[in-house]
Chain A
Amino acid sequence: GENVEQHPSTLSVQEGDSAVIKCTYSDSASNYFPWYKQELGKRPQLIIDIRSNVGEKKDQRIAVTLNKTAKHFSLHITETQPEDSAVYFCAASRNNFNKFYFGSGTKLNVKP
């Protein structure tokens, strides 16, 4: 089955700096990669996703890059704000999309 690894497990940045979270996956058949943000005690919320036919996708301060050859994808948050503080999860899924394999999460702390 698929194995998704995520690094770092914790990340602390100063407000205004950039944050980068990296994930690797093992199943070359995976072709859909969503990122979720989970605030303490709340539900995971989709913030951005990318499909395998695209190398990069941006949405305002958030971007995701995908390297299919190396089987890794990354989340980039620019101009971080305190409200970005949360746990971020990457996930990978195959073409039939019937289940997501999640990374172990990155706890991002943005210091004001």
Chain B
Amino acid sequence: NAGVMQNPRHLVRRRGQEARLRCSPMKGHSHVYWYRQLPEEGLKFMVYLQKENIIDESGMPKERFSAEFPKEGPSILRIQQVVRGDSAAYFCASSPPGSGGEEQYFGPGTRLTVT
């Protein structure tokens, strides 16, 4: 059973470009969470999604950031018009249905660098 997959692992974007981060949950998992980790800091919750639904986006910046988890395919975190402050590691985690969100398994992360 493959773990949570994220791609790309490293992404470099110039200011003003768009960044698309992908997350494939573990097989059978229907809950996806996105977290952001700034250097030397803890992980900060951004958004929680189930298939085709955003359940909680209270940690998402109001502008430029969006997330989706379509019926088919990976979850995508999209950052439009990136700025230097968006440079961070973005981790997604997944949990199985019925777990209530416990047992969140993390992917390897995407390290975004904005130049």
Contacts and interface: CB of A to CB of B under 8 A. Distances in A.
A97 B100 contact: yes
Interface string B73-104: 00000000000000000010001000111111
Contacts of B103: 46
Contacts of A46: 103-105
A30 to B, nearest CB: 13
A95 B102 CA distance: 10
Given A44-B91, A89-B43, A100 B48 contact: no
Contacts of A100: 33, 35, 43, 45, 104
A32 B105 CA distance: 15
Interface string B47-58: 010000001101
A49 B102 CA distance: 10
A26 B93 CA distance: 24
Contacts of B100: 95-97
Contact of A104 (B41, B91, B95, B106): B41
Q: Is the interface of B mostly helix, strand, loop or mixed?
A: loop
Interface size bracket, B side: 20 to 34
Interface in A66-98: 89, 93, 95-98
Contact of B91 (A6, A43, A101, A103): A43
A102 B44 contact: yes
A91 B100 CA distance: 16
Contacts of B106: 36, 43-45
Q: Which of A42, A45, A98, A105 has the most CB of B within 10 A?
A: A98
B101 A102 contact: no
Nearest to A99: B45
Report, nearest first, the 10 A-B pairs whose CB atoms are least far apart. A97-B101, A102-B42, A99-B45, A97-B100, A43-B106, A102-B43, A104-B42, A98-B48, A44-B106, A43-B108
Given A44-B91, A97-B102, A98-B33, 5 more contacts: A43-B107, A44-B106, A49-B102, A99-B48, A100-B43
